[in-house]
Amino acid sequence: MATLSELDSKTLLVDHGLPVLPERSVPTADEAVQAADELGYPCVMKLSGDHIAHKTERNLVRLSIGNADQALDAANELLAAARPDDGDVTVLVAPMVASSREFIVGAQRSPEFGPVVMVGIGGIFAEALEDVAFRMLPATPSDFDAMLDDLRTDALLGEFRGEPAVDRNGLVAVIESVASAMVARDDIVAIDVNPVLIRDGAPIAVDALVELA
């Protein structure tokens, strides 16, 4: 099996409607600074590559980068952290999104049930609540909408900490995009879109991984 890089995973899922931020993938620190200048501050940088699946565990993510000097330091740190077995790597640069709510959307190909899609509460609440809902595929948009009703903490879909209610149709569209890719590609073993952040009510996928057979 092979795991696509974050950039390639997002590119695949964007073709099925996944909402993502504008971002740049560049090979050098200087180009990372230029990308940050163009995308605006604060921004996020990550080390990306086909053999890098768990960036957080390896400290390969830099958040809240506020200026060009910080961007240069962050990019150099990330490139220096690359290992020989990572293969070709790039620095992925994207705007920073502030959000107090996170969701997880994923899918996997089960030997017993075939393709299955999942949505759940993410972020700091994920492990404590373990609040997820599943549907077998293929399914309809109304099935995906019903998944949100299955979540016990549906209060997070309403107004929360001064933020507007979640665009429910937008979150359903995220689930639908993952399900669509899963059904369309028999070689996809699993999809993990985590986190899906809520910005002004609208869902934005800021990380994604696709695993291929």
Please state, rounded to an integer, the average pLDDT across all residues of the chain.
94
CATH for the stretch 22-95: 3.30.1490.20
Sign of CA dihedral 177, 178, 182, 187: positive
- Look at residues 152, 148, 202, 205 and name the one whose alpha carbon lies nearest to residue 177: 205
The percentage of residues in the chain with a pLDDT greater than 90, rounded to a whole number, is 83
Sign of CA dihedral 126, 130, 135, 140: negative
3-state secondary structure of 132: strand
The percentage of residues in the chain with a pLDDT greater than 70, rounded to a whole number, is 99
- Look at residues 181, 186, 203, 182 and name the one whose alpha carbon lies nearest to residue 194: 203
pLDDT in tens, 31-40: 999 999 999 9
Q: What is the pLDDT of residue 90?
A: 97
Q: What is the DSSP string of 47-104?
A: EEETT---TTTTT-EEEEE-SHHHHHHHHHHHHHT--GGG-SEEEEEEE----S-EEE
Model pTM score = 0.93
Better-predicted residue by pLDDT, 161 or 78:
78
Q: What is the pLDDT of residue 185?
A: 97
Confidence of residue 124 (pLDDT cuts 50, 70, 90): low
Confidence of residue 128 (pLDDT cuts 50, 70, 90): low
Q: What is the pLDDT of residue 166?
A: 96
pLDDT in tens, 46-80: 999 988 877 888 999 999 999 999 999 999 999 99
Q: Break the chain into its structural domains and give their ranges.
A: 22-95, 102-212
CATH for the stretch 102-212: 3.30.470.20
Neighbours of 11 (CB within 10 A): 16
Q: What is the pLDDT of residue 102?
A: 93
- Look at residues 4, 95, 90, 83 and name the one whose alpha carbon lies nearest to residue 47: 90
Q: What is the pLDDT of residue 153?
A: 84
Asked whether residue 134 carries a pLDDT value surpassing 70, the answer given is yes
Q: Which residues of 76-93 are buried (b: 16+ CB within 10 A; e: fewer)?
A: bebbeebeeebeebbbbb
Measured between alpha carbons, how far is 150 from 32 in angstroms, rounded to an integer? 42
Asked whether residue 181 carries a pLDDT value surpassing 90, the answer given is yes
Residue with tokens 């993952």: 178
Confidence of residue 125 (pLDDT cuts 50, 70, 90): low
